[in-house]
Structure 1
Amino acid sequence: MTITWPKTLPLPTVDGYGVHPGEAILRTEMEAGPARQRRRFTQVPSRISVRWLFRREQFALFEAWYRWHAKEGGEWFEIDLLGGLGLVGHEARFTRQFEARLKNGVLWEVTSDLEIRERPTLDGDALDIFLENDPALLLATIADLNTLVHQKLPGPMTW
């Protein structure tokens, strides 16, 4: 069974959000000359600092989901998180127990850190295209093409 973030709960807020990539490079200082570096891992988990604001009933749902579905935060689950590609699905789990504070007697502020298996990034071919072209122009062209195909062209032909 795949565990997913409850659809009835909000996603993390932008305030307090941070991406902390794991260390993939091993650096060795030399007695003389420049230090040597090498790549240790090809896939390095990243940590994401998250913050939620919950109403009372949402906080109750979160606590129960965290305890029973996320197994006190130890299970991997699917959640949409922000990154360079925008809001996309990630596989995440909690790295530490959440902290909750009552704000203004109304909202619960919940903070924690999530570990994600892999940060979604552009693949090699897309990177090459973006490096050789103006990204803003490419994105505008994609938006124009989407409008043309989905709004201006006639629907499928029926014979």
Structure 2
Amino acid sequence: MIQYPAELPLPLQEGYGLNTADPMRATPMVTGRTRYRIRHRRTPTSASFSFNFDEEEAALFEGWYEWSINLGLEWFEMPLQTPLGLQVHLVHFKRMYGGGELAQIKRWRFTAELEFKKRPVYTEDQYLGAALGMPLGQFNDGLQGSLEKWYTRYFG
């Protein structure tokens, strides 16, 4: 798998934000009510980023974009901050990056929009563990123990 170059800095916090497409479809009914349904389970998620590179980093970034990821067509792994923390995500460029703009005497600013292959969200087990306040396996063991005690007390 292609990696984001370790020699390049991660995106700036300024303007860093996740955008998620709405997975619902709404259909107005004749009665005046609206019927909602899920259009797709895989919700496309993208993020807008700004990068601040020195001259050497800017040249490396443009070369990597051109030659390693085939003008942005290829998916690549990049460490990114999401609500799940700093993790490596599989992403690709939605369109050609913007820039470089000369930001300081020898600093260049680039902007880009990346699309995530998989939406950064808890798995069902992680969600249930967080909602229950304990890992799901521990909750299941405790529940099973309680049910066994109840069953033997009343039916055993």
| Fold conserved between structures, TM > 0.5 | yes
Residue in structure 1 matched with residue 129 of structure 2 by the alignment? 129
> 2:42 touches 2:119 (CA, 8 Å); kept in 1?
no
Q: Distance in 2 between matches of 1:114 and 1:120?
A: 13
Please, which runs of 5 or more residues in structure 2 have no aligned partner?
A: 136-156
Residue in structure 2 matched with residue 115 of structure 1 by the alignment? 115
Give secondary structure in 2 for the equivalent of 1:72.
coil
Q: Distance in 2 between matches of 1:67 and 1:79?
A: 17
Residue in structure 1 matched with residue 8 of structure 2 by the alignment? 9
Q: Which one has the largest radius of gyration?
A: 2
Letter in 1 for 2:116: I
Cα displacement string for residues 73-93 of structure 1 (whole angstroms, at most 9, x for unaligned residues): 111100011111011111111
Question: TM-score with structure 1 length normalisation?
Answer: 0.78
Q: Distance in 2 between matches of 1:77 and 1:23?
A: 25
Residue in structure 2 matched with residue 104 of structure 1 by the alignment? 104
Percent identity over paired residues:
34
Q: Distance in 2 between matches of 1:75 and 1:127?
A: 31
Letter in 1 for 2:30: E
5 Å-filtered alignment, 1:4-153, equals: 4-100=3-99, 101-133=101-133
Deviation, 1:129, is 2.5
Deviation, 1:59, is 0.1
Give secondary structure in 1 for the equivalent of 2:88.
strand
Q: Distance in 2 between matches of 1:82 and 1:23?
A: 22
Q: Distance in 2 between matches of 1:46 and 1:120?
A: 8
Question: TM-score with structure 2 length normalisation?
Answer: 0.80
Q: Distance in 2 between matches of 1:82 and 1:126?
A: 18
Query: Which is worse superposed, 54-63 or 97-106?
Result: 97-106
Moved over 6 A (4+): none
Residue in structure 2 matched with residue 151 of structure 1 by the alignment? none
